Amino acid sequence: MSQLPEISVIVPVFNEEQNLNTLYQRLSASLKACTNAYEILLVDDGSIDRSLHYIKQLSNRDASVKYISFSRNFGHQKAVLAGLNACRGNYAVIIDADLQDPPEIIPELYTKIKTGYRVVVAKRNKRSGETWIKKITAKLFYRLFDNMIDFKIPLDTGDFRIMDRKIINEINDMNNRNIFIRGQIAWLGYDTGFVSYDRDKRHQGNTKYSLSKMIQLALDGIISFSAKPLVLITRLGFFMFFISICIVIYALAVHFIWQKTITGWTSIIIVVSIFSSIQLLSLGIIGEYLARIKNQVQQQAHYVVQESNIIHSRLESHDLQSSKPTKNQY
């Protein structure tokens, strides 16, 4: 068997057929500047275009290209997790397939992690080609998240980073059903190095992160690592209780002291709509926690692999015909 790779690069792929060749060329060139012992792990997250076809072509041409193909779209974070489960390198790099994260930064990340960090994060200076809504919501999210957790998360960073084997193993051993990799790494708490870069425009195609996927990711992050939304509900409850006591006193005074009969339609509508929407919101927040507790209790697999050319790995539910590793064959 060949030697273990020094660097594994993990690339989540969802309908990126137009980007794969350029990605492969730029990635290989930058990796060769670091080491000859590398593997590129392309994780096809249930693409419905010809991504898997191109991925297989690349892996037939080049033995350092490995692939994992999911049975359906399980989501970006699950694809990254599968890559971490399967990779064998001393270091792992996570990078997007659309070339927004320039592969040319990898040598810098590698040099920096060698100076003694466990993880080195690529920090975005500028973000080109993204809508202002995306930039503002991302900025707000990181600040909100930072406020809600009791550890430090690097602001304005994605998953583009390099980490060492200890971090890879720790993430693989976490029994967390709601995956938010950058939060999980921050939670581990090791010293983090930074390399800054200008985030490019997407090479080809459109974003694969819909609004609902973004909200899902944000909720997974906050709910997995913070109970503050629940505490806020309690505080809001106390506050609204105080307001309702004032309203009751006012209503009684109007009736018994001033003996005025008021029509009251507007006030009733306002009170009913405010109180009922706050109740629904609170129930919703509790529901989000409940849904994630259900996920955790159910212990469902994170993803299902339908095809891969990786044999020795801790991939979940890997039932490939040609090579037949089982769940326990790590």
Chain residues binding Mg ion by CB under 5 A are: 98, 100
Structure token pair of residue 107: 């040598």
Contact between 100 and ligand UDP per CB under 6 A = yes
Binding partner of 161, given ligand UDP, Mg ion, none, CB within 5-8 angstroms per partner class = none
Q: Which distant-in-sequence residues (6+ apart) come within 8 Å of 164 by Cβ?
A: 90, 91, 113, 117, 118, 119
- CA angle at 68 for the pair 121 and 84, rounded to the nearest 5°: 30
> What DSSP state is assigned to residue 300?
-
List the one residue out of 163, 209, 203 whose CA is nearest residue 182.
163
CA distance 80 to 96: 10
Q: How far apart are CA 127 and CA 323, in angstroms?
A: 42
Residue 73 interaction partner, one of Mg ion, ligand UDP, none, beta carbon < 5-8 Å per kind: ligand UDP
What are the C-alpha distances in Å from 76 to residues 9, 45, 97, 175, 296? 15, 7, 11, 18, 19
97 is a site residue for ligand UDP (CB under 6 A): yes
Compare residues 112 and 213 and give the one whose CB is closer to ligand UDP. Answer: 213
Strand partners, 164: 91
157 forms part of the interface with ligand UDP (CB under 6 A): no
| Residue 177 near ligand UDP by CB under 6 A | no
What is the smallest separation between the CB atom of 45 and ligand UDP, expressed in angstroms? 4
Q: Is the dihedral of CA 163, 12, 23, 321 positive or negative?
A: positive
Contacting residue, 17, 39, 45, 164, with ligand UDP by CB under 6 A: 45
Residue number with CB closer to Mg ion (17 or 98): 98
Q: How far is the CB of 161 from Mg ion (least distance, A)?
A: 15
> Which of ligand UDP, Mg ion, none binds 127 (CB below 5-8 Å, type-dependent)?
none
Which tokens in the block code for residue 28?
A: 């290989």
Applying the rule CB under 6 A, the residues between 183 and 222 that interact with ligand UDP are 207-209
Residue 75 binds which of ligand UDP, Mg ion, none (CB < 5-8 A, kind-dependent): ligand UDP
Interface with ligand UDP (CB under 6 A), residue from 12, 103, 183, 325? 12
Binding site for ligand UDP (CB under 6 A): 12-14, 16, 45, 73, 75-76, 79, 96-98, 100, 207-209
